[in-house]
C-alpha cells in the first residue's frame, strides 16, 4: 500500500471536466512524477491533494488517513508540504524568519501563542533554519527580505521552508520553471540528495531532463485523465504518451 493513494478522483469546473477518474499510488520513499501537456490538469490534481480544491468525487488517502474534508493547515500538519509554481513566501520577512516560521509550525502545531519569549532566542529553531539555509546555499542572505531574492532563490527558499518541516510527502509544482540551466542542475542535485534520504515526493514538471533525472515512476496526464503510468524507461516508448505530446517532440 502506498503512502499517498488517490482513487477515482473527479473534478469539473462548470461544464469543463478537469479531472476524470484519476488514480495515483505513490509508494513510500519514491519520487513520482506527473507529466502532461499544458492544461492537462496537473496543478488541479495537486490542488485537490492539499484541499485547495475539493474533488467532486473520489478519495485521497495519505498514510492511511483520508485527506478530503481536512483544512489546508491540517493536511500540512499530518506531513504534506508543497512547493508552488509561483513561489509562495513571506516577502516582507527575512529569509531566516521565512524558514523559522514553518519550523515553529512543526514544533507548536497550527497555533502556539508564544508572545513572551523572543524569536532570536529560540536557539534550536534558529539553528535548524540556518542549517537548511546553508544546505540550500542561502545562508549568506539570511537577513535579507525575501522579496528581494531572484526567482530561482525564491524557489529554493520555498523548498527550504518545506524541508525544515521534515514532511513525509513533498509536493513540487514545477520546481525548476524559469531557472537557468545551472540553477536547474543544482536544484536537481539537491532534490536527488533529499530523495536519497527516503523522502517521498510528487513532482510536476515540464522539463524532461528533470523528470528523468529524478523520477522512480511517472504518470502521464492528458485532458484530465491518466493515460499511462509506468517506470521512466517504459514511458519514453509509450505510443499513447508520444501521441499526447504531439509526436513526442519533447521526449
Partner 1 sequence: MLGLGAKDTRLFLIVIGLTLFAPFLLNPFPADSSLAQFNAGYPDLMQRFVIFGIFAIGFNILFGLTGYLSFGHAAFLGVGSYAGVWMMKLLTMNVVPAILMSVIFAGLFSLLVGWISLRRSGIYFSILTLAFAQMSFALAYSVLTPITNGETGLQLALDDPRVLGVSRTEAGSIPLTHFFGLEMRDGFDWTIGGWVFTFNVGYYLSALVMVAAFYVSIRIFRSPFGMMLKAVKSNQQRMLYTGLNPRPYTLAAFVISGMYAGLAGGLMVAMDPLAGAERMQWTASGEVVLMTILGGAGTLIGPVLGAGLIKYFENIFSKINSNVLHQWFGFLPDGLEDALVFVVYPFVGKGWHLTLGIVFMLVVIFLPGGLVEGGQRIGRLFRRGRSSSSKHERTAATPSSHAAE
Residues in contact with partner 1 by CB under 8 A are 50, 71-74, 76-77, 81-82, 84, 88-94, 97, 100-102, 104-106, 108-122, 143-145, 161, 165
- Least Å distance between CB 148 and partner 1? 9
- Least Å distance between CB 145 and partner 1? 6
C-alpha 3, offset from chain centre: 15
> Is beta strand 225-230 parallel, antiparallel or unpaired with respect to 31-35?
unpaired
- Least Å distance between CB 111 and partner 1? 4
- Least Å distance between CB 4 and partner 1? 16
User: Which H or E run contains 129?
Assistant: helix 123-135
| Nearest residue to 175 (alpha-carbon basis) of 60, 73, 37, 33 | 33
- Least Å distance between CB 128 and partner 1? 14
The smaller minimum CB distance to partner 1, of residues 158 and 207, is found at: 158
Residue 101 · residue 161 · CB < 8 Å: yes
Count other Cβ atoms within 10 Å, centred on residue 166.
Answer: 13
Rounded to the nearest 10 degrees, how much is the dihedral formed by the CA atoms of 157, 159, 165, 168? 180
The smaller minimum CB distance to partner 1, of residues 33 and 96, is found at: 96
- Least Å distance between CB 233 and partner 1? 34
Q: Which three cell numbers stand for residue 158?
A: 520555498
The phi and psi torsions of 205 (rounded to 5 degrees) equal -155, 145
Could you tell me how many residues make up the chain?
Answer: 251
Query: How many whole angstroms separate alpha carbon 192 and alpha carbon 231?
Result: 17
Q: Give the position of cell 492544461.
A: 39
Query: How many whole angstroms separate alpha carbon 130 and alpha carbon 142?
Result: 8
- Least Å distance between CB 37 and partner 1? 26
Find all residues with CB under 8 Å of 4, minimum gap 6, and list them: 24, 25, 26, 49, 60, 61, 62, 169, 200, 202
Amino acid at each position: 500500500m502506498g503512502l499517498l493513494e488517490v482513487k477515482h478522483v473527479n473534478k469539473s469546473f462548470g461544464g469543463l471536466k478537469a479531472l476524470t477518474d484519476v488514480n495515483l499510488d505513490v509508494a513510500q520513499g519514491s519520487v513520482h512524477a506527473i507529466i502532461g501537456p499544458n492544461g492537462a490538469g496537473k496543478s488541479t490534481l495537486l490542488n485537490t491533494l492539499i484541499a485547495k480544491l475539493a474533488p467532486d468525487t473520489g478519495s485521497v488517502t495519505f498514510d492511511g488517513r483520508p485527506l478530503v474534508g481536512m483544512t489546508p493547515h491540517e493536511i500540512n500538519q499530518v506531513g504534506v508540504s508543497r512547493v508552488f509554481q509561483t513561489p509562495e513566501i513571506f516577502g516582507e520577512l527575512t529569509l531566516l524568519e521565512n524558514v523559522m516560521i514553518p519550523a515553529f509550525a512543526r514544533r507548536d502545531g497550527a497555533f502556539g501563542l508564544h508572545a513572551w519569549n523572543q524569536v532570536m532566542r529560540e536557539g534550536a529553531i534558529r539553528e535548524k533554519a540556518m542549517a537548511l539555509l546553508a544546505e540550500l546555499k542561502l545562508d549568506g542572505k539570511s537577513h535579507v527580505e525575501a522579496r528581494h531574492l531572484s526567482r530561482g532563490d525564491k524557489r529554493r527558499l520555498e523548498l527550504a521552508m518545506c524541508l525544515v518541516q521534515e514532511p513525509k510527502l513533498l509536493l513540487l509544482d514545477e520546481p525548476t520553471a524559469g531557472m537557468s540551466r545551472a540553477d536547474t542542475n543544482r536544484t536537481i542535485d539537491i532534490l536527488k540528495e533529499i530523495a536519497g534520504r527516503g523522502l517521498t515526493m510528487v513532482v510536476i514538471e515540464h522539463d524532461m531532463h528533470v523528470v528523468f533525472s529524478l523520477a522512480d515512476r511517472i504518470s502521464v496526464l492528458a485532458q484530465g485523465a491518466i493515460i499511462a503510468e509506468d517506470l521512466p524507461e517504459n514511458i519514453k516508448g509509450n505510443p499513447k504518451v508520444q501521441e499526447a505530446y504531439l509526436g513526442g517532440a519533447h521526449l
